[in-house]
Amino acid sequence: MTLNETTTGTIAIAPTPFDGDGRVDQRSIDSMCDFYGKIGCTGITVLGIMGEAPKLDAQEAIDVAKQVIRRAQGLDIIVGVSAPGFAAMRTLARHAMDAGAAGVMIAPLPSLRTDEQILTYFRQAVEAVGPDIPWVLQDYPLTLSVQMTASTIRAIVQEHASCVMLKHEDWPGLEKISALRRYQREGSLRPLSILTGNGALFLDFEMERGADGAMTGYAFPEMLIDVVNLSRAGRRDDAHDLFDAHLPLIRYEQQQGVGLAVRKYVMAKRGIIAFDAQRKPASSLSATGRAEVDYLLTRLSRHDRRAMALDGIAGAAS
């Protein structure tokens, strides 16, 4: 099973579970994979920015990728292989594909500025991992400080047949989706799957602009799945109603740095992972922050019953 340009649906960006001592929590990797499969995710992306990938050493990264691939049979597993150098990128990519990954994800180096530099970088990256590996182009200027216009993305996609998907998280990015879809109608861009990130903050309209689905780490991926499906089914108001109910929490997760702490806290509360721990350097939620999230969950549960079950297991995360 390999990734291709027709992929749709929701691919969850997975955190890397750690225990309180900073060790990779393998048991939680399994329970998390089971959860994503059960609720209907198309796939899982591991070792992304949210996955605390740079905090793992080389062997740990390979081990995490392999475990997820082994456990989440039937799902498309994408492995983030962004690295400061091509040797490390290649090593991880080859291990991942050999183990059965569906593809890899590559972000540009933060130092890239000009279109020429960006195009050269991806040329060298594809040469490093090999032209046979399907890959996802990550466009995330807010964090990476690399700005790729729609026409630069088109140039990359047209040059590399193995680039089959865009993880879209430019901000603002709605017009970029429209521009890419327009290129395709005009015949200047080949088919390309577009899944959107940015913590789902604009998912409602991104779907209407032409996205194929979501790829982000919101702690209630069921909502992503539902909004994607409702939107694809043309049920606009229903999609927005569900989305709006979750928006206060989506928004709360959007706090840079704190976001991961919120997500792990909610996932631990939901029993998806055992601990809300991060490896150092770690962000954390204050007692007030946790109470705010709890309040948001309570409010959410009035609209979405899946947030209700949490009350029973609220103690698990503390």
Question: Could you give the count of Cα atoms lying within 13 Å of 26 in the half-sphere of its Cβ?
Answer: 10
Residue-wise DSSP of 67-129: HHHHHSTTSEEEEE---SSHHHHHHHHHHHHHHT-SEEEE---TT--SHHHHHHHHHHHHHHH
Among 6, 34, 40, 54, indicate the residue that binds its own copies (CB under 8 A).
54
**Binding string to its own copies for residues 141 to 160, with x set by CB under 8 A, is what?**
------xxx-xx--------
Verify binding: residue 280, its own copies, rule CB under 8 A: yes
Quick one: 182 or 190, whose CB is closer to its own copies?
182
Verify binding: residue 302, its own copies, rule CB under 8 A: no
Piece of 71-79, 121-129, 188-196, 305-313 that binds its own copies (CB under 8 A)? 121-129
What the block records as the tokens of 268 is 């631990």
Question: Could you give the count of Cα atoms lying within 13 Å of 48 in the half-sphere of its Cβ?
Answer: 28
Q: Rounded to an integer, what distance in angstroms lies between the CA atom of residue 283 and that of residue 10?
A: 27
Residues 213-242, interacting with its own copies (CB under 8 A): 240
Instruction: Give the CA dihedral 9, 242, 250, 179, nearest 10 degrees.
Output: 50
CB of 26 to its own copies, least distance (A): 16
Which single residue is written with the structure tokens 């590559």? 106
Among 20, 85, 131, 312, indicate the residue that binds its own copies (CB under 8 A).
85
Quick one: 58 or 233, whose CB is closer to its own copies?
58
Verify binding: residue 88, its own copies, rule CB under 8 A: yes
CA distances for 21 relative to 29, 48, 104, 144, 227, angstroms: 16, 22, 29, 29, 37
CB of 4 to its own copies, least distance (A): 28
Among 34, 116, 132, 159, indicate the residue that binds its own copies (CB under 8 A).
116
Among 6, 20, 58, 313, indicate the residue that binds its own copies (CB under 8 A).
58
Is 50 annotated for ligand binding? Answer: no
Q: Rounded to an integer, what distance in angstroms lies between the CA atom of residue 219 and that of residue 272?
A: 10
Verify binding: residue 113, its own copies, rule CB under 8 A: yes
Q: Give the SS3 label for residue 41.
A: coil
Quick one: 44 or 128, whose CB is closer to its own copies?
128
Q: Rounded to an integer, what distance in angstroms lies between the CA atom of residue 70 and that of residue 64?
A: 10
Residues 159-178, interacting with its own copies (CB under 8 A): 171-172, 174-175, 178
Asked whether 41 and 1 are in contact (CB, 8 A), the reply is no
Asked if residue 281 has a cis previous peptide bond (ω within 30° of 0), the answer is yes
Which residues are part of a known binding site for pyruvate?
Answer: 215
Residues that bind its own copies (CB under 8 A): 52, 54-60, 83-88, 90-91, 110, 113-117, 120-121, 124, 127-128, 147-149, 151-152, 171-172, 174-175, 178, 201-202, 204-205, 208-209, 240, 243-244, 247-248, 251-252, 254-258, 279-281, 286, 288-289, 292, 299
Which residues are part of a known binding site?
Answer: 215
